[in-house]
Chain A
């Protein structure tokens, strides 16, 4: 499989007979990203995704990544079936430069078809291109779907524990 790299347009691969392309996000994708996120989370957040576009899809593209997985239809129409966002962060929490996966979502009807895996591999390639050799994410303990996915991609528990406190 081939994937896009920073600054390049889409590379494609074929999965279960349908062409899926993983590429950098475009402004015109945001309505579909908002709709996909709403289908998955039950909450529409158009302002948040517009802001995410400017933060991760508009500047510092060498260390910020916002990728979408696009299924191309027979009449050159396309559907966004997943997206992933990440960023190379350095020295926070005492951590050496590392790629963080900040968001991942796959269209429920398109799951188990390799979309998440393609997005994961594509962002790993982007992080390598950016010069880091480790990536990290944070998942809610009760989110078995995401935990199982990241585990299946070889992610293991890291050296940090997340702590929090209710404010009085």
Chain B
């Protein structure tokens, strides 16, 4: 059940693009992709994607490959890199401490802060437990389901 007006947790666009790009690259070892190829699939400008890739390169998750057929290749550890590791490169995840300052003056504020911190903790534990390798498995399963559904409908 979803509460009215409550959607799933929102990620910044840069975080989403980073996750998609890493899944494209980590899913197939030794794969090299140009920024334009990834951008085309997800409808993202090459300019925006290039900035995201620079951040990922600085974090040691991708490396640029020069020359014909160049682009970017994955160079991290897919079994040890989590969604939380990636998202934290682009956004300040779980800013409960800054909220506390604003709300600590009242008991109501502190009570609400306690609940929001609980939600942050659960979200952090979830994102911190899902590695890129696990995400690649999930993507594979989604593709398999889609393939089965397509076969049934035909």
A55 on interface, CB distance cutoff 8 Å: no
Contacts A148-B131, A152-B131, A154-B137 given; 10 further ones with Cβ under 8 A?
A141-B121, A141-B122, A141-B125, A144-B82, A147-B129, A148-B134, A151-B131, A151-B134, A152-B79, A152-B134
Contacts of A148 in B (CB 8 A): 82, 129-131, 134
Interface size on A, residues (CB 8 A): 10
Q: Once bound together, how far apart are the Cα atoms of A58 and B121, in whole Å?
A: 39
Interface residues of A (CB under 8 A from B): 141-142, 144, 147-148, 150-152, 154, 157
Which secondary structure dominates where chain B touches chain A? helix
Q: Please give me the residue from chain B that is nearest to A149 by CB atom.
A: B129
Report yes or no: A144 in contact with B128, Cβ–Cβ below 8 A: yes
B126 on interface, CB distance cutoff 8 Å: yes
The count of A-to-B residue pairs whose CB atoms sit within 8 angstroms is 28
Q: Once bound together, how far apart are the Cα atoms of A152 and B79, in whole Å?
A: 9
Q: Please give me the residue from chain B that is nearest to A161 by CB atom.
A: B122
Q: Please give me the residue from chain A that is nearest to B121 by CB atom.
A: A141
Shortest Cβ gap from A26 to chain B (Å):
33
Partner of B126, one of A142, A150, A154, A157: A157
Q: Once bound together, how far apart are the Cα atoms of A157 and B9, in whole Å?
A: 15
Considering the complex of A and B, which 8 residue pairs feature the smallest CB-CB distances, nearest first? A147-B129, A141-B125, A152-B134, A151-B129, A151-B134, A148-B129, A151-B130, A148-B131
Q: Please give me the residue from chain B that is nearest to A152 by CB atom.
A: B134
Partner of B137, one of A141, A144, A147, A152: A152
Contacts of A152 in B (CB 8 A): 79, 131, 133-134, 137
Q: Please give me the residue from chain A that is nearest to B125 by CB atom.
A: A141
